[in-house]
Structure 1
Amino acid sequence: MSKHESATITIQEPNPTGSKAETKKVVTVIGSSRSADGLKRGLAIFDFILRLAALAAALGATISMGTSDQTLNFFTQFFQFRARFDDLPAFSFFVAANAVASGYLVLSLPFSIVSIVRPQITGVRLLLIILDTVAVALVSAGAGAAAAVVYLAHQGNTKMNWVAICQQFGSFCERVSGAVVASFIAVFLFILLVLISAVSLRKN
């Protein structure tokens, strides 16, 4: 329910008995608060813009990681040195998580438009905050798993005798690193979307 404002109007009426005394009739007029609806509409517009930005970040992360592939110039008859995203389960999960998030963001755009047109509707906003929270968890898990692998690719681990492969696969590491950064940007935007929905519901 939207907030309401009340105004009191006093009307003077002649006394039906014919005396000079007059009776006063008090009428209370209740109107909807335009300021509250305007605030929620502004939040809904900002929500729509953030969804477009999050879609660009998540889709960019998906494409960048999904097309990461590098083959070294030197190889033998039996061995070929090649790095692909699907060689590591963490990167495959990363692509799947960001692809699902991108698809969800596309489907959520019409609901965000409904919130702009009808800001007083709370059901749509409640649905979005639930799904946005799920998206935060999904994309965060994918970005965190991929970030751990990227760190090892850059730094290696001398105790485990894991070599830093980015010295050889520089192009591959640049693409996957950029994808991880874009995914974390999408996570941040999803968190902002959850906060906007929470504020909008709080105003009801």
Structure 2
Amino acid sequence: MEKSEATAIDVPETSRESKGKAPLLSAPAAVQHTAAPRYKRGVAIFDLILRISAATAALGATVAMGTTEETLPFFTQFFQFQASYDDLTTFSFFVIAMAIVTSYLVLSIPFSIVCIVRPLATGPRLLLIICDTLAVTLATSAAGAAAAIVYLAHNGNSSANWLAICQQFTDFCQRASGAVVGAFVAVALMIFLVLLSAIALRKR
């Protein structure tokens, strides 16, 4: 009888210990599972803000360069001095490229909203990071080429006998310079977009 009573007392103690340890082992996994969507949703919201800002900067650069022209006040009936963005192929390429980048950024906003609603979805995020990289490449090439022309317009080149036209066409150069600055701002914001997409795609 003493042996049966001892075994009867030992069985409930072991079952209580196993029941007490089970919740402690499962709690960290549950906390980590719920924290991941919140983290990714926060990244997606910041991505949407940067995307709208980049689209605004790209649109401003496109409009500024597309409306850049100036006519000097001294001219005759048959000859006048005029400068326009379409006189230079580089500036025309700048307007076309930045218009494409602006259109892409506007069209990508719904995909960014999808990433907010579904933070764990990898398809839209993967599509955005690929297209963002292509947009950064296009905007960087357009901004870099236009910056080189603006530099020559301000400083000229004595070796090639290129004159600094900004001494006469001041308004033209100011608007072109502002457009280039806006383009580089858009490039910087889109680089952050690519980094955010890479962070969001990282598994935890």
Q: TM-score by structure 2 length? A: 0.86
Give 5+ residue unaligned stretches, structure 2. 1-6
Q: Distance in 1 between matches of 2:41 and 2:96?
A: 33
Give the aligned partner of residue 184 of structure 2. Answer: 184
Give the aligned partner of residue 138 of structure 2. Answer: 138
Secondary structure at the counterpart of residue 160 of structure 1: coil
Give the aligned partner of residue 40 of structure 2. Answer: 40
Secondary structure at the counterpart of residue 108 of structure 2: helix
Query: What residue identity is the alignment partner of 2:107?
Result: L
Q: Distance in 1 between matches of 2:141 and 2:44?
A: 27
Q: Distance in 2 between matches of 1:106 and 1:78?
A: 45
Q: Distance in 2 between matches of 1:151 and 1:76?
A: 30
Give the aligned partner of residue 59 of structure 2. Answer: 59
Percent of counterpart pairs with the same letter?
A: 60
Q: Distance in 1 between matches of 2:127 and 2:155?
A: 42
Query: What residue identity is the alignment partner of 1:84?
Result: S
1:179, distance to aligned residue in structure 2 (A):
0.2
Give the aligned partner of residue 79 of structure 2. Answer: 79
Q: Distance in 2 between matches of 1:169 and 1:203?
A: 54
| Alignment check: 8 A CA contact 1:156 1:164 kept | yes
| Alignment check: 8 A CA contact 1:128 1:197 kept | yes
1:203, distance to aligned residue in structure 2 (A):
3.4
Give the aligned partner of residue 202 of structure 2. Answer: 202
Secondary structure at the counterpart of residue 33 of structure 1: helix
Q: Distance in 1 between matches of 2:46 and 2:149?
A: 34
1:76, distance to aligned residue in structure 2 (A):
2.1
The 10-residue stretch of structure 1 (72-81 or 84-93) with the greater mean CA deviation from structure 2: 72-81
Q: Distance in 2 between matches of 1:118 and 1:202?
A: 15
CA offsets per residue over residues 33-73 of structure 1, 9 Å max, x none? 12111111111010000001101100000000000010011
Which consecutive aligned stretches of 4+ in structure 1 deviate over 2 angstroms post-superposition?
A: 18-32
Q: Distance in 2 between matches of 1:149 and 1:53?
A: 26
Select the structure that is richer in helix.
2
The alignment status of 1:100 with 2:100, answered yes or no, reads yes
Structure showing greater radius of gyration is 2
Q: Distance in 1 between matches of 2:176 and 2:116?
A: 36
1:159, distance to aligned residue in structure 2 (A):
1.0
Give 5+ residue unaligned stretches, structure 1. 1-17
1:156, distance to aligned residue in structure 2 (A):
0.3
Q: Distance in 2 between matches of 1:139 and 1:35?
A: 36
Secondary structure at the counterpart of residue 70 of structure 2: strand
Give the aligned partner of residue 127 of structure 1. Answer: 127
CA offsets per residue over residues 165-204 of structure 1, 9 Å max, x none? 0000000000000000000000000100000000110135
Select the structure that is richer in strand.
1
Q: Distance in 2 between matches of 1:34 and 1:87?
A: 58
1:19, distance to aligned residue in structure 2 (A):
5.1
1:78, distance to aligned residue in structure 2 (A):
2.6
